[in-house]
Structure 1
Amino acid sequence: MPVRKQQDEVFPNSAAVDVGASEHWVCAAPRLAEQADCDPVRRCGAMTDDLHALADWLLGLGIEYVAIESTGVYWIPLYDVLESRGLKVWLTDTRQTRSVPGRKSDILDCQWNQKLMALGLLRPNWRPEQDVRVIRAVCRQRDTLIAEQASWVQRMQKELVQMNIQLAEVLSDVMGQTGEAIIRAIVAGERDPRQLARHRNRRVKASVAEVQRALTGNWREEHLFVLSQAVTMYDALGQRITECERKLQDLLGSRTSHHVDLGRPPRAGTKARKEFDLRQMLADWTGVDLTRINGIQTTTALKVLSELGPRGAQRFATVKRFCSWLGLCPGTKISGGKILSARTKFAANRIRQALKTVVMSLRHSDSALGAFYRRLCLRMDTPRANTAVAHKLARMIYFMLTRGEAYVDRGQEHYEELQRQRNIAALKRRAAALGFQVQQIPEAA
């Protein structure tokens, strides 16, 4: 195999790091190490002073680009230190560098990665800027706490069922206004079904007698103790969630760069006003209101923008690359001119998961997106239709963030009329190809 010359290297002043939990192995460009009369491979510790010493060594050699592998979370401190010292850090996928020839070792890994980096065979993964990463960390913590709080609600329901308190049979939400009041009364020591049924809200469909029957059970001491512990954990997690929401409000309030008019706000002190304020801060941060898209609520917009940022979509040259990064494009595995597989690749992207969750709410929507989703469900199975509509939502988000345009829904009737005109045009083309002519029958008076 012919050896590439120095002028054939795309990044001659580059280095690569094999990331580990307790130590890192670094390989600098052999030419630069030879000029400095040192070994191109060096072992580095994981402490902060070791990372700064590594940055000093790389800068002394004249290194400009550093490729590191995304190994767990061990690469994050190294990435931050090297980036703060002015080096251009490329975070690479381990799938691009795992085919190391010969025996596998940390020393050979870093040398192989440096060779791939110098020849331009690696691609950097995108990472949002520092301001976005701060909001993303708080938003992810909030999602984690909400998931943990939901698990404690399931434990409450489990203890209630073991005591034969069938609260879920008469209430759609166990921790709604009625359910939460009843559970807290049980923890406080109330056992009379008639007294507990007084907490029933008038909007509950089940009657008072049905609620009393559901609240008649065997009050076991061990289950009451676990129920009390679950309520305490639920309240503690609720306090942490409130702290995260306050932190998000402070962070978003300090990053306001636009002023978007969302109309008249709801009455102060209501739940709708709280959601409106968050929606206003997100719109002022990015300059567009993503909630104008049918199906996207304020929580979904927060998740998308916390992962992407106001200028993250501009890092992708085309909308196709953006959708490919989300994992919403069909696969193209071709060999010998035949398509082996066209299935969408697996991706653990949080934006992708949020958009696919949003799609389910469009089934009964009278918008153009709802009509589009129902038409796809007639042509294909539901999972593929969900992916296709999520792909359409991703394209809308990309154009709104890159062009600053507002989304305007033309409604279900407009979409169906467009589909009718397309079907007529297709029918005329097919008839002309067969030597026929289609003539439209005028509507009856």
Structure 2
Amino acid sequence: MAMRKREDEVYPNAAGIDVGGSSHWAAVPAHLASQAGCEAVREFGVMTDDLNALAEWLLAVGVDTVALESTGVYWIPVFEVLEQRGLKVWLVDARQLKYVPGRKSDVQDCQWLQKLMSLGLLRAAWRPSAEVCVVRAVVRQREVLLTEQASWVQRMQKALVQMNIQLTEVITDVMGQTGQAIIRDIVVAGQRDPKMLARHRHRRIKASEADIVKALTGNWREEHLFVLRQALAMYDDIGKHLAECDAKLDALLQTRAVARVDIGKAPRADSKARAEFEVRQALANWAGVDLTRINGLGVTVVMKLLSEIGPDVSRFASVKHFCSWLGLCPGTKISGGKVLSSGTKRSANRVRQALKLAAQALARSESALGAFYRRLCARMDKPRANTATAHKLARMVYFMLTRGEAFVDQGQQRYEEQQRQRSVAALKRRAAALGFQLNPVAAA
């Protein structure tokens, strides 16, 4: 092991790699390069053999830690190869580097990255374990498929409107039971008679059969029917891929169960809620706790949350570190002893987005969290109230995963009573400070 050359170096044997799409530039400390009799900066290709050569060179020189700039998805193969070779790899956010203007090149970038790393001025980004990354890839692929499927539904709606088939005016969900039956009868069977198509109306549809007949009376044009036919075919094809994703997720979750968590009695096998219950059970077995007990956190939100961070959050020193990583805690921008801003930082964190959607769903919830969200909305604008509620949800998730405790809702009534008692106590303290005394009004 090479000796430390400067007292202020925290990682004296650290290297820096500037990742690119066509080549990677690596810089090692000057004292290691001189001992090995090689140059301190080298360029490597992006092929697997080149990445193996990069790892061998770093190990031969004596590097033990590598700082890697997170550039697109180009860093992933480099990260995996170096990690498999036993090197400690730090994935660094590019915003931490602060390049000097007018002095930017691939060589200078990797040297600057190596310098900052050796001085301990960089922070490593968090990357989940390999088993979590596998689930994350499938969940993200499923989200992509859902987005594409929704876009083809919009194309079907557009084709119908262009023919003045106002199906959306009488049916809420075009791809529901009634909507699909009508569209498939139009595309597959070639039915054009509005009265025959209206017979597919489900008894729970509010619009009458006569209203549906009016909505299905339009101008049938061949070019729009062609678009409708292809859009329906794409919708069905994506549905098959979604089924494959669901089967893959089910298999992955079954292998990751750490404990059998009791989440209640299972619905009947022929019930629509049975599939959701089984997914909820698998997620609870993986996490060790049932996160869906938290108001606002449904199966979809919990699936996204666990697929992004996994059930182990010990990487974060405290709940404050966890919320800071999510970008949900207040900022601290202070200059001259004056708070300039306390807003949260901008972040594209997927867990943050999921928690904010969950917080928005609490608007009409008759729970303590719902009452908390509505109380904040009365004090501030809704975006800030949404962020504050998402922050509260994040803290609950962290404590449940670290302590293994089940969530128990105290109820809206008890929460409102606690807030009332706090308000009364605050009024009494304020009155006492002004020399007054508050006395309750006797009930009539």
TM-score of the pair, normalised by structure 2: 0.97
Quote the offset at 1:5 in angstroms. 5.6
Tell me which residue corresponds to 2:218: 217
The question of whether the paired residues in 1 share the 8 Å contact of 2:149 and 2:238 is answered with: yes
1:168-317 aligned within 5 A: 168-188=168-188, 189-311=190-312, 313-317=313-317
Is the CA contact 1:18–1:25 (under 8 Å) kept in the aligned structure 2? yes
> Within 5 Å, which residues of 2 pair with 1:398-409?
398-409=398-409
Query: What letter is aligned with 1:298?
Result: V
Letter in 2 for 1:338: K
Hey, what does 2:42 align to over in structure 1? 42
**Structure 1 counterpart of 2:363:** 363
Kept after mapping to 2: 8 A contact 1:22/1:45: yes
Unmatched tracts of structure 2, length 5 or more: none
1:117-143 C-alpha deviation (Å, 9 max, x unpaired) = 000000000000000000000000000
Secondary structure, counterpart of 1:363 in structure 2: helix
CA contact (8 A) 2:333 2:340 kept: yes
Deviation at 1:96, TM superposition (A): 1.1
Show the counterpart of 1:123.
123
Match of 1:83 in 2: 83
Aligned to 1:68: 68
Q: Is the 8 A contact 1:100 1:109 kept in 2?
A: no
1:382 aligns with 2:376: no
Distance 1:442 1:59 in 2: 82
Is the 8 Å Cα contact of residues 100 and 112 (structure 1) preserved in structure 2?
no
Partners of 2:97 and 2:241 in 1: CA distance: 40
Residues 305-357 of structure 1, C-alpha deviations (whole Å, 9 max, x = no match): 0001010x221111111111111122222212222222221110111111111
Q: Determine what percentage of the aligned residue pairs are the same residue.
A: 67
Q: Which residue of 2 aligns with 1:165?
A: 165
Which secondary structure state, in structure 1, belongs to the residue aligned with residue 67 of structure 2?
A: strand
Contact between 1:285 and 1:310, CA under 8 Å: does it hold in 2? yes
- How do 1:316-395 residues align onto structure 2 when only pairs under 5 Å count? 316-395=316-395
Contact 1:17-1:68 within 8 A present in 2 as well: yes
Aligned residue identity for 2:15: A
CA distance in 2, matches of 1:417, 1:124: 45
Any conservation in 2 of the 1:100–1:108 contact (CA below 8 Å)? no
Give the secondary-structure state (helix, strand or coil) at the position aligned to 2:7.
helix
User: Deviations along 1:255-295, whole A, 9 cap, x unmatched?
Assistant: 11111011110111432111111111111111000100011
- Letter aligned with residue 56 of structure 2: D
Q: State TM-score, norm by structure 1.
A: 0.97
Length, aligned pairs only: 440
> How many Å separate the matches in 2 of 1:5 and 1:85?
26
8 Å contact from structure 1 (residues 27, 114) kept in 2: yes
Correspondences of 1:104-115 after superposition (within 5 Å): 104-115=104-115
Residues 135-150 of structure 1: pairs in structure 2 closer than 5 A: 135-150=135-150
Which amino acid is 2:272 matched to? K
Amino acid across the alignment from 1:146:
L
Question: Alignment RMSD, CA only?
Answer: 1.2
State whether residues 11 and 120 of structure 1, in contact with CA within 8 Å, keep that contact through their aligned partners in structure 2.
yes
Counterpart in the other structure of 2:418: 418
Whole-Å separation in 2 of the counterparts to 1:91 and 1:442: 66
Secondary structure of the 2:175 match is coil
| Contact 2:5–2:12 under 8 Å retained in 1 | no
Output the CA distance in 2 between the equivalents of 1:244 and 1:308: 20
CA distance in 1 between partners of 2:31 and 2:215 (Å): 79
Determine the C-alpha separation between the residues in 2 that align with 1:5 and 1:78: 28
Q: Which moved more, 1:293-302 or 1:328-337?
A: 328-337
**Which whole-Å CA distance do the structure 1 matches of 2:199 and 2:222 have between them?**
24
Helix, strand or coil: the match of 1:17?
strand
CA contact (8 A) 2:365 2:371 kept: yes
In structure 2, what is the Cα distance between the partners aligned to 1:297 and 1:419?
A: 27
Match for 2:400: what amino acid? M
Query: CA separation of 1:177/1:423 partners in 2, compared to 1, >3 Å: closer, same or farther?
Result: same
CA distance in 2: counterparts of 1:70 and 1:406, whole angstroms = 37
Counterparts of 2:401 and 2:419 in 1: how far apart (Å)? 28
Q: Shift in Å at residue 102 of structure 1? A: 5.4
Q: Which amino acid aligns with 1:320?
A: K
